[in-house]
Structure 1
Amino acid sequence: MSETEHYVFLLVEGFSHLAFSCAVEPLRIANLVSGKPLYHWSYISENGDTATSSNDSVTLVHGGLEPLNKVDILFVLSGLNVWEHITPGLLSFIRRERAHGIKIGALCSGAFVLAKAGLLDGVPTALHWEYHDSFMEEFPEVSLCRNVFVSDAKYITASGGTATADLMLHLIEKNHGSDLAVAVADQMVYNAVREATAEQRVSLQSRHGIRNPNLVRAIQIMADSIEDPVSPSVIADEVGISTRQLERLFGRYLNCSPAKYFLDMRLHKAQNLLLQTEQSVTEISLSCGFKTQAHFARVFRAQFGNTPLMHRTKII
């Protein structure tokens, strides 16, 4: 590794500007605080001129998909609708650089690009929680985890947003010591740095103040059986309580019935798949436990105010 590390950020159209800033600013501040050029960074995009983020900010880049030289790591950074911007040229570039020994990582939804390139099978991978449903449907061989970032696998990944800052601070600490990482975090007024093993979303217990293990177990059973839903009575049997007790738990802690909570869980997964995949409405309805498309359309419209197809095509 050279004295100055060179990070290249491949900005895919629609990339997350928040993750972008959280990736670059810690490097800039590390140089400032240390008084040394510890890091150099550059941006590339497929067109070689600009890249537009999800908030419509346009970033000038330093080049296109030419062969890289003297690069310590290439980070693929994407965001909304990443699957619409994964092109053969993009995949060829990543595969070529990997074959040439370039270390590669992914930020935010960038794991989609690496997975599409065939790099992530069996690799522990961090990805923004909002994309988990669609990612697992398309890439079941990838070892997806809820960590904010993964730094000790073959490919470094971060789930996006401020998790990108956590990753960069971790890399700064690893290469230049904890004192510098703490100083950079202080300059960022960032006093809640997370370890890689931290989960992206707070636990069910934290979200709802739940300390009842029976309710937590019941909800886990629901999450594990979305494709083939089980009845409240079956859930109660597995938990080891009566159906009436299960009803009381959901009413007390979540202000709804077990059936309503389970239906909402299935519908929100369907919503994610509609917006994040190209699966047909029929495929999505089956993967979310609805036996007929008509039933799926009816309950979906009652929940979200429009049909599944309308929901997919509307402008978000």
Structure 2
Amino acid sequence: MPQTRHITFILVEEFSHLAFSCAVEPLRIANLVSGEELYRWSFVSEHGEQAVCSNGSITLVHSGLQGLAKCDQLFVLSGIHMRDHVTRPLLATLRRERARGTKIGALCSGAWVLAEAGFLDGMQAAIHWEYHDAFMEAFPEVNLVRSVFVADEKHITASGGTATADLMLHLIERDHGEELAIDVADQMVYNAVRNATAKQRVSLQSRNGMRNAHLSKAITIMQDSIETPVSPSFIADELGISTRQLERLFGKYLNTSPKKYFMEMRLERAQKLLLQTEASVTEVAVACGFENPGHFSRVYRSSFGVTPHAQRNKID
């Protein structure tokens, strides 16, 4: 009879209920279809009574941080506003467990917590795409990837949502073979299981019904040049087409111009950095390719109806 693996989930306040279900249900189903207790699990919160997820649901837990039992795998599961819930007791517990030899991973925005603890330096890690810009600014020493999960590092990380199910199915396959993982996926009616290298966000082509390689490449160039913006003529030269052709592509598929699209992309990143990081308005401006803070403030207000300083004050 296989040895039962014990997995503990630290539920950080405002954790993702979707990621939570996608983490636990594959384990339950693995036990069900195998007819054996392959896995058991425990829930932990800082205060040891309950944890409230982002949709308001309340989950009763088995213990607090001080009562953590020995386990085979520990996952930190958080969700929105994770920075507000990274406490000293939580970080101390994680460091104590690491010294104890516990395998520690993170789900959804939990990679932020591990990075705050200093666990991910020099490693690849995955986090929900919504936090990518802020994470890269806060933790440049971590090799953040856009994959749905990372399972071949010391600290396993998954980007949240259904990516958590992908990770759990990967772990079930690793522990008990491909056949059981397929059976579990079938029980979940989950026929689009992704491997670790799959990207989180749906491709631009899929979102817009496009199959134009030039347009896709142009947007990739923009994404890679946010800190040092390039001109439409430069992008066109890189693609080997005329600036006029580039303008027509953006007009046909996106109903906008390359210049306007690029500006909106930079401002969207600026908004995320203002809302998710402690970087100053000037630092955010520079990170998004604005050399003049005054110009940045004007275009930001024109786009979002508030100045960057007012945007920051909304969350203070």
TM above 0.5: yes
Instruction: Please give the residue correspondences for 1:195-210 in structure 2 after superposition, counting only pairs within 5 Å.
Output: 195-210=195-210
Which residue of structure 1 lines up, in the alignment, with residue 219 of structure 2? 219
Which residue of structure 1 lines up, in the alignment, with residue 55 of structure 2? 55
Instruction: Please give the residue correspondences for 1:28-47 in structure 2 after superposition, counting only pairs within 5 Å.
Output: 28-47=28-47
Paired residue secondary structure (1:10): strand
Q: Aligned-pair distance for 1:190?
A: 1.5
Paired residue secondary structure (2:65): coil
Paired residue secondary structure (1:66): helix
Is the contact between residue 14 and residue 80 of structure 1 (CA under 8 Å) also seen in structure 2? yes
CA RMSD, Structure 1 to Structure 2 (Å)? 1.8
Which residue of structure 2 lines up, in the alignment, with residue 26 of structure 1? 26
Using the alignment, how far apart are the partners of 1:71 and 1:214 within structure 2?
A: 50
Which residue of structure 2 lines up, in the alignment, with residue 236 of structure 1? 236
Amino acid at match of 1:66: Q
Is the contact between residue 108 and residue 158 of structure 2 (CA under 8 Å) also seen in structure 1? yes
Using the alignment, how far apart are the partners of 1:181 and 1:106 within structure 2?
A: 21
Amino acid at match of 1:121: D
Is the contact between residue 44 and residue 68 of structure 2 (CA under 8 Å) also seen in structure 1? no
Is the contact between residue 297 and residue 308 of structure 2 (CA under 8 Å) also seen in structure 1? yes
Is the contact between residue 290 and residue 296 of structure 2 (CA under 8 Å) also seen in structure 1? yes
Which residue of structure 2 lines up, in the alignment, with residue 10 of structure 1? 10
User: Deviations 1:66-97 (Å, cap 9, x if unpaired)?
Assistant: 26443110000001111111112211111111
Which residue of structure 2 lines up, in the alignment, with residue 140 of structure 1? 140
Paired residue secondary structure (2:63): coil
Which residue of structure 1 lines up, in the alignment, with residue 79 of structure 2? 79
The answer as to 2:176 corresponding to 1:162 is no
Gaps of 5+ in 2: none
The answer as to 2:64 corresponding to 1:90 is no
Q: Aligned-pair distance for 1:270?
A: 0.9
Q: Aligned-pair distance for 1:283?
A: 1.7
Amino acid at match of 2:63: G
Using the alignment, how far apart are the partners of 2:59 and 2:314 within structure 1?
A: 27
Which residue of structure 2 lines up, in the alignment, with residue 277 of structure 1? 277
Q: Aligned-pair distance for 1:63?
A: 1.1
Is the contact between residue 247 and residue 257 of structure 1 (CA under 8 Å) also seen in structure 2? yes
Q: Aligned-pair distance for 1:313?
A: 4.8
Paired residue secondary structure (1:102): coil
Using the alignment, how far apart are the partners of 2:230 and 2:77 within structure 1?
A: 39
Using the alignment, how far apart are the partners of 2:178 and 2:225 within structure 1?
A: 44
Is the contact between residue 226 and residue 266 of structure 1 (CA under 8 Å) also seen in structure 2? yes
Gaps of 5+ in 1: none
Is the contact between residue 46 and residue 64 of structure 1 (CA under 8 Å) also seen in structure 2? yes
Using the alignment, how far apart are the partners of 1:137 and 1:247 within structure 2?
A: 32
Matched-pair identity in %: 69
Is the contact between residue 228 and residue 289 of structure 1 (CA under 8 Å) also seen in structure 2? yes
Q: Aligned-pair distance for 1:314?
A: 4.4
Using the alignment, how far apart are the partners of 2:54 and 2:308 within structure 1?
A: 24
User: How many positions carry a matched residue from both structures?
Assistant: 315
Is the contact between residue 222 and residue 262 of structure 1 (CA under 8 Å) also seen in structure 2? yes
Is the contact between residue 43 and residue 62 of structure 2 (CA under 8 Å) also seen in structure 1? yes
Q: Aligned-pair distance for 1:162?
A: 0.7
User: Deviations 1:94-142 (Å, cap 9, x if unpaired)?
Assistant: 1111111100100000000111111111211111111100000011111
Q: Aligned-pair distance for 1:179?
A: 2.2
User: Deviations 1:194-224 (Å, cap 9, x if unpaired)?
Assistant: 1111111122222233333332222222111
Is the contact between residue 67 and residue 97 of structure 1 (CA under 8 Å) also seen in structure 2? no
